[in-house]
Amino acid sequence: MMNKIVLSFIYLQKKNVHNIHIFRRRKVEIVVENTGNDLEIKCSFCERTLERSEIVRYRGAISCRECAEKKSTQSKPMIKPFVYLAGIGCLIGMLTFIYFTLDVTLYSQVFSESYIQPLVPFYAGMTSTVVLVSLGLYAINRVHLFQASIVGVLMGILAASSSAMALYDFVTLGPYFVIEEITFTKTIYYYPTVLATYSLFVIVAALSILLHMANIKTETVSIASVALFLLSASIVMSIWTWIIAGALNTLTYAVAFGFFVSRKSVYDEEPIQPL
């Protein structure tokens, strides 16, 4: 009569991050069968009986090398397309803020009474930017901090939806609104929800990059991205000139572009360890 036993062990894995020793809890499971006389160790994936020389450990499981190598190949996330899409989103954000800032700065004073802000290209650009950047935030944290990556995506969906609704309102209802029979022109401040959700998204972006930095060495581009995202978020809901705001947001997305496209590997693959 065979009795299958699953033995679980908890051990601490030592990792050096920024010259600081970090210990992570890891769980190892060993499948053992009692054949009456001897204990047989089974592969956790294919349940094949293993010889002593065949036993390896991968991601907390005792297995054969073939299964470990197969799981290693399957577990590698396809992150490059996501970070490149985030880089494209940063370029769109740069162009959006440059165009909007130049238009407002050059023409709002000249055509003060009849001037209409270019909110259609602005909200279209911001919707695309937020969606694409959120994909990059998902990619950089999906292995070590999956919950944080999901929060980044959800916050991106919220901010993009808010921007898309403002775009729909401006296109369908026109650039004017009436209060007590007085006609006003819609500006970017007519949609405060967009500014609020975008500000929250920028804060989440900064926090996501900070969490990502916990698993890589400190980089100047990462620190600069966090600082600029937080600075941008702090002035979104305030009264500021478009020259300052446009320059700051353009610089923010320029640095964020460098951050995303420089991601060579956003995860540390756990090695297959012979026992």
pLDDT tens-digit map of 215-268:
666 677 888 888 888 888 877 655 556 778 888 889 999 999 998 888 765 455
Identify the pLDDT of residue 79: 66
Pair 49, 182 in one domain: no
Domain for residue 273, yes or no?
no
Domain for residue 44, yes or no?
yes
Give the whole-angstrom CA distance, residue 271 versus residue 25. 16
Give the whole-angstrom CA distance, residue 156 versus residue 150. 10
Pair 107, 211 in one domain: yes
* Alpha-carbon dihedral angle through residues 122, 125, 126, 130, given to the nearest 10 degrees: 180
Q: Which domain holds residue 170?
A: 80-261
Q: How many residues does the chain have?
A: 275
Domain for residue 34, yes or no?
yes
Q: Which residue stretches of the chain have pLDDT < 70? A: 1-39, 59-60, 72-79, 109-112, 143, 215-218, 236-241, 264-271, 275
Identify the pLDDT of residue 44: 77
Pair 69, 84 in one domain: no
Identify the pLDDT of residue 17: 41
Pair 84, 59 in one domain: no
Please say which residue of 74, 99, 114 terminates a domain.
74
Pair 26, 114 in one domain: no
Domain for residue 106, yes or no?
yes
Please say which residue of 57, 74, 91 terminates a domain.
74
Pair 66, 102 in one domain: no
Identify the pLDDT of residue 19: 42
Pair 25, 135 in one domain: no
Pair 131, 177 in one domain: yes
Identify the pLDDT of residue 2: 46
SS3 266: coil
Pair 175, 195 in one domain: yes
Pair 101, 43 in one domain: no
Identify the pLDDT of residue 255: 92
Please say which residue of 43, 58, 74 terminates a domain.
74
Domain for residue 270, yes or no?
no
Number of domains forming the structure of the chain: 2
Domain for residue 274, yes or no?
no
HSE, CB side, 13 Å, CA atoms: give it for residue 27.
Answer: 4
pTM: 0.68
Identify the pLDDT of residue 60: 67
Pair 119, 137 in one domain: yes
Domain for residue 207, yes or no?
yes
Could you tell me the CA-to-CA distances from 138 to 80, 146, 155, 199, 228 in Å, in that order?
12, 8, 11, 18, 20
Domain for residue 46, yes or no?
yes
Q: Report strand pairing: 55-58 vs 39-42.
A: unpaired
Pair 52, 108 in one domain: no
